[in-house]
Structure 1
Amino acid sequence: MSVSLVSALLCCSAATVLLLRWRRRRKVQRKVEEAKERRERALERMLKAARKFKEPNPGHKPEPILSFALPELCGKLRDGSLSPENVLYAYMDQALKVTRDVNCVTDYLEDCESQLLHVKSQGKKGLLYGVPISIKDSIDCKGHDSTLGLVKHLNLPAATDAVVIQVLKHQGAIPFVKTNVPQSLLSYDCSNLIFGQTLHPLDHSKSPGGSSGGEGALIKSGGSILGFGTDIGGSIRIPAAFCGICGFKTTGGRISKKGVIPSIRGQKSVAAGIGPMAKDVDSLALSLRALLCNEMFRLDPTVPPLPFNEQVYSSSQPLRIGYYVTDSFTMPSPSMRRAVLETKQLLEKAGHTLVPFKPCRTDDFMCSISAKGLFADGGATFLEGFKGESADPKAKELVLLAKLPNWFRSLLSCIVKPISLRISKMLTSLNERSVKELWELHTEIEEYCQEFIGEWRRLDLDVVLCPVLGPAFKIGLPGRLSVGASYTILYNYLDFPAGVVPVTSVTEEDEEELKSFRGHFNDMWDKVFAKAIQGAVGLPVAVQCVALPWQDELCLRFMKEVEKLTQEKSNKN
């Protein structure tokens, strides 16, 4: 075979490969364009539905409706002083305004109008009768995509509602929109190549957090009174903290996950939790009263039949509270630290006992256990979601790390070891493991959990008060600091219920103190953290409340106490 013929064949092969790649990219781009157009049409239908209601009802005033807290709104719906139509279209109109500002709604659930008629025709009124609710993208709603921000999940509408949606409808709720998430869910930013970047409602240069970031932005802006998200590393708690609302991650098995699409299918090292997001704790509690009912236990018999424990939630007994201001891995920002200490003082003045508590071996947990669990397959399952499509710029760093072969990650680990020991450890933790190594890891997780509980029991604690990541990061920087979730992901591995309550906001003094921030290690991650939270004066700061597994009501009761004391202090000032 002549050289010229070989050259021609090689050129043809290269041209064919390039042509196939171009065609694949063009196909993906068309799907994205179609999805964007479909969303615009859905929002247009939503707008028409709202106008159709308003035209024959010129006296309709949404402002008073939007001002009610959920328990009060439920009362007015049940006694008939408010109609479900007035409430649904008030929130529909507000959600449209909000999403035009911060880009948080991804889909309009058109069957909310038939659900409205169904709710009104029922003789028995459920606990959430007539309440419009928003739903995170990854929770299945019949006839709609659950994209996870990935093109490959487009045009695959769910055949049925997730169990949690079925139960909410059974209780009279009206799901009306789905909300935005980061690509693949494994980020606490909120951006993907299909629906774009969701912005922080108080500062458009900041992220609303993730992965339930669309929920956080919508609820904070008044476009929804109650939303539901998922949490595998802080995905409810971080956006709630960033946006200044309340969010709660239940014990992993407390609410059905049937019909909820996970970020990494099949992994069992870390427990995901489902939970509500709202502006106050009583709203969270009300939503759990509604969910923890016989209908859920019937639809999903794998969920333990534990109804909401009113006695625990309504108790006023003084609590014995452990607290810490740092996990010794991610140094808290000045405002994070101040939030915990000020809350500690309020709790002590109210008669509770506060006891210093130190989380066990957090550095070892984050650098060894945490990354190993999520990426025990070397990131292969995570990367499946990106086959044939581009990574969002906010996710590119994690995707690149997952693509590196084991030998190269090990080489990088050796190179960066003199600069940052924890980055070096984290790199090797991403390597693929054998089944035997995975079982050893699960044993290590179990032993760590028992060690943690042992210290909790030794101090005779009821609950723990600690920081949650905050204030809100600048857009793009969460993807460079996944380890910033150390305060939240810990309680997914332990499978403890945990929630967040906003207690203060960033002050000029906090911002000034941040100038001398060095972190615990003064490495690249500490520098990125300081950069990410700069320029946050006035943004909300929250604290995290934690209880032992299955003590969800006790955790909520603690959150309610923190909220009450914070509000009392605010009213005095």
Structure 2
Amino acid sequence: MDVEWTRVVVPLLCAAGVSVFLLKWTEQQKVKRKLQRAREKREKELEQAEKAVSFFKTRNAGVDLSSIVTFPLAELSKRIRGGSLQPDAVLHAYMEKALEVNKKLNCATAVLTESLKQLENIESRKDGLLYGIPFSIKDNVDYEGYDSSCGVLTKLDDPAVKDSVVVSVLKKQGAIPFIKTNIPQGLLNYECSNPIYGRTVNPCNLEKTCGGSSGGEGALIAGGGSILGLGTDLGGSIRIPAAFCGICGLKPTNKRISMLGLSSCVKGVKTALSSIGPMARDVESLALCMRALLCTDMFTLDPTVPPIPFNQQVYESYEPLRIGYYENDGYLQPSPSMSRALRETKELLEKAGHTLIPFNLPRIFTAFHEFVVRGNIADGAGTLLKHFKEGPVDPSMQHQASSWGLPKFMKKMISLLLRPFYPRMAATTHATCGVDSPADLWKQHKEAGDYIHETLAEWKKLELDVLLCPMLGPAYSFNYTGKLFSNVPILNIIDYILQNVQQDVSTIRVSL
């Protein structure tokens, strides 16, 4: 009997084992082919762009493309409008520079060769505020015919059916989108690396990260390959690359600019809100982009955006401001260099006639753990991690993915064990469990709303115009940021307009 049983079962087990092996092997081959197609597609676009630049240079031997990319945006726009520079020369100049920068930094996910066709009708956009200006867009900003991959395999081979609203508006303003830029896997990391397109490095130091998630934008602009770009920000994704790469970035209030046509691995989060904003080399470029975006076309294409145009009078005002500030929020200790930068900025602002007032964010511990961490992964990160299952997890995301993917009971046990020794780490670990029910989620939304009003009440009490605070940095080493928890997203809860600058901030005026 035992012999007969063995004769039947053993072959079945062997067959099952072979079937499982073949299934896994087949899935691995599918993943490899998908990755290969995406990479080959990018290489083909890069080659086409190189040929287009070479062809243009052959036919226009007298045009000095290298000098074009040295002009600030305002000067470049003036020269295009004056006729001393042609839009086709400007586009090819930036395409050539972007290709050069990409070889060094690996910051592009796609070259939008259709931009060359846009030149055919560019004269019809001569009245636009950004007539003839090339601009770059973050990978998750939809452009018709191209993937918005978010750095995950699940979003490959799924090209956008139409342009996002922001791309449509900037096209109507005469701007020319010409390249998409790299992002971290899943968009929730301060490093810029994914299994599809690889790692983008910092133009100031190739051994450091450029930041994330709008890291490709920060690197390309800082490297000189783009004069204006669009990034998105949920937890510092514009501000951190701007700080790491030494450029300027603006995170507007949520829904100030349309979010229609933006891809994400996790949609529906209501506690810490994402927004889209410009990135550039100087503040005036940010303002010009905001003026171009906040127009009738924007409000028509997306009626949910409040129809409030850019307030030039506020932007140009030189009335003294009441500026709140803090050097340490009581949760995260800034680096010595960032503390020094804040103190120096404070002194410059006071010398310029502004009033600096100490300001502390309330209940920082609760706000970060309960609203930022638990709010962003209310489902225990299940939705995000589904996108990681099809392919490999990037090394920069290994720590986050491993910890988020633990069973809920294990997270709670780890939190309990850590609490006496590392209370903040314990609270963060517990927050990654997410919420237990819709009722808990509604409670969280209500408490987050109360927190906003509590913060703004203190803001109004002190009659503040601006909040000055330290930024993360300087740029971190590779594979470190996945282990880092920061308070940057807390300001996304309050949802105020935010920016990073690398110049005398007394010149800045930003209009709501």
Q: TM over 0.5, yes or no?
A: yes
Change (3 A) 1:333 1:186: same
Number of the residue aligned with 2:205:
203
Does structure 1 retain, via aligned residues, the 8 Å contact 2:125–2:174? Answer: no
1:20 alignment partner AA: L
Q: Deviations over 1:54-84 (max 9, x none)?
A: 0021121123311111111111111212100
Q: Do structure 1's residue 322 and structure 2's residue 335 form an aligned pair?
A: no
Structure 2 counterpart of 1:141: 143
In the TM superposition, what whole-angstrom CA distance separates every residue of 1:432-457 from its partner, at most 9, and x where no partner exists?
A: 42100000000110011111101111
Q: Which of 463, 479, 493 is equivalent to 2:466?
A: 463
Partner of 2:439 in structure 1? 436
Distance in structure 1 (CA, Å) of the matches to 2:416 and 2:322 = 45
| 2:385 matched residue in structure 1 | 383
Counterpart for residue 499 of structure 1: 499
Q: Distance in 2 between matches of 1:368 and 1:267?
A: 14
Q: Given the alignment, which residue of 533, 553, 561 partners 2:511?
A: 553
Deviation at 1:266, TM superposition (A): 2.0
1:125 CA displacement: 2.2
Larger deviation, residues 14-23 vs 248-257: 14-23
- 2:11 equivalent in structure 1: 8
Equivalent position of 2:186 in the other structure: 184
Distance 1:503 1:328, change over 3 A: farther
1:237 corresponds in structure 2 to 239
Name the CA distance, whole Å, in 2 between partners of 1:298 and 1:321.
Answer: 35
**Aligned to 1:171, which of 150, 155, 173?**
173
1:51 aligns with 2:54: yes
Please give the alpha-carbon distance, in whole angstroms, between the structure 2 residues aligned to 1:87 and 1:14.
60
Match of 1:105 in 2: 108
Distance 1:469 1:426, change over 3 A: same
- The SS at the match of 2:232 is strand
CA contact (8 A) 1:134 1:179 kept: yes
Question: Counterparts of 1:545 and 1:235 in 2: how far apart (Å)?
Answer: 24
Shift in Å, 1:133: 0.4
Structure 2 CA distance, aligned partners of 1:238 and 1:116? 34
CA contact (8 A) 2:272 2:490 kept: no
TM-aligned CA distance change 1:334 to 1:123, over 3 Å: closer
Return the offset for 1:552. 5.0
Query: What is the match of residue 269 of structure 1?
Result: 271
Give distance in 1, aligned partners of 2:506 and 2:365. 20
User: Are 2:49 and 1:27 equivalent residues in the alignment?
Assistant: no
Question: CA offset at residue 124 of structure 1?
Answer: 4.1
- Residue number in structure 1 paired with 2:77: 74
Aligned pairs for 1:112-131 (under 5 A) are 112-120=115-123, 122=124, 124-131=126-133
Shift of 1:545: 12
Which structure 1 residue ranges, 5 or more long, are not aligned?
505-542, 555-573
Q: 1:414 Cα deviation (Å)?
A: 1.6
Correspondence for 1:569? none
Alignment CA distance shift 1:360-1:545 (3 Å) = farther
Counterpart contact for 1:416–1:423, Cα < 8 Å: yes
Aligned-partner SS, 1:206: strand
- C-alpha contact 1:185 1:210 (8 A) present in aligned 2: yes
Deviations 1:114-146 (A, max 9, x none): 1111112x1642000000000100000001010
TM-score w.r.t. structure 1 length?
0.87
* Alignment partners' CA distance in 1, 2:322 and 2:489: 24
Match of 1:490 in 2: 490
Report SS of the residue matched to 2:464: coil
Moved over 6 A (4+): 543-546
1:105 shift after superposition: 1.0
- Does structure 1 retain, via aligned residues, the 8 Å contact 2:348–2:506? no
| C-alpha distance after superposition, 1:305-357 (max 9, x if no partner) | 01000111010100011111111111000001001000000000111101011
Equivalent positions of 1:338-417 (< 5 A) are 338-417=340-419
Alignment TM-score, normalising by the size of structure 2: 0.97
Greater mean alpha carbon deviation, residues 494-503 or residues 182-191? 494-503
Counterpart AA for 1:98: V
Q: Offset of 1:192 from its aligned partner? A: 0.5
Give the drift of 1:503: 4.8
Residue aligned with 1:332, SS? coil
TM-fit CA distance, 1:465:
0.6
CA contact (8 A) 1:257 1:274 kept: yes
Q: Which moved more, 1:188-197 or 1:72-81?
A: 72-81
Distance (whole Å) between structure 2 residues aligned to residue 268 and residue 380 of structure 1:
17
Match of 2:294 in 1: 292
Structure 2, unaligned stretches of length 5 or more?
A: none
The separation in 2 between residues aligned to 1:112 and 1:10, in whole angstroms, is: 57
| Contact 1:333/1:470 (8 A) holds in 2 | yes
User: In 2, are the aligned partners of 1:500 and 1:544 still within 8 Å (CA)?
Assistant: no
| Residue pair 2:375, 2:434 contacting (<8 A) in 1 also | no
Of 79, 92, 114, which aligns to 1:89? 92
| SS state at 2:53 partner | helix
Following superposition, the deviation at residue 380 of structure 1 comes to: 1.2
- 8 Å contact kept, 1:78–1:125: no
Whole-angstrom CA distance in 2 between matches of 1:74 and 1:255: 23
State how far apart, in whole Å, the 2-side matches of 1:269 and 1:492 are: 8
- Tell me the CA shift for residue 30 of structure 1: 1.0
Instruction: Tell me how far 1:238 sits from its aligned partner.
Output: 0.2
Q: Which amino acid aligns with 2:158?
A: L
Report how many aligned residue pairs link the two structures.
Answer: 508
Aligned partners of 1:358 and 1:99: how far apart in 2?
41
- Give the conservation status (yes or no) of the 8 Å contact 2:125–2:172: no
Q: Which of 148, 153, 156 matches 2:155?
A: 153
Contact 2:166–2:293 (Cα < 8 Å) also in 1: yes
The sequence identity of aligned pairs, in percent, is 48
Equivalent of 2:420 in 418, 421, 440: 418
CA distance in 2, matches of 1:212, 1:314: 28
Shift of 1:387: 2.4
Q: What is the rounded CA distance, in whole Å, between the counterparts of 1:500 and 1:544 in structure 2?
A: 13
CA–CA distance in 2 between the matches of 1:382 and 1:3?
A: 45
Q: CA deviation at 1:419?
A: 2.6
User: Given that residues 136 and 226 in structure 2 are in contact (C-alpha distance below 8 angstroms), is that contact kept between their aligned partners in structure 1?
Assistant: yes
Q: CA deviation at 1:6?
A: 2.3
Counterpart position of 2:451: 448
* CA-to-aligned-CA distance 1:257-310 (integer Å, 9 cap, x gap): 100012412222221010000000000000000000000111111111010001
CA contact (8 A) 1:180 1:213 kept: yes
User: Tell me, what secondary structure is at the counterpart of 1:395?
Assistant: helix
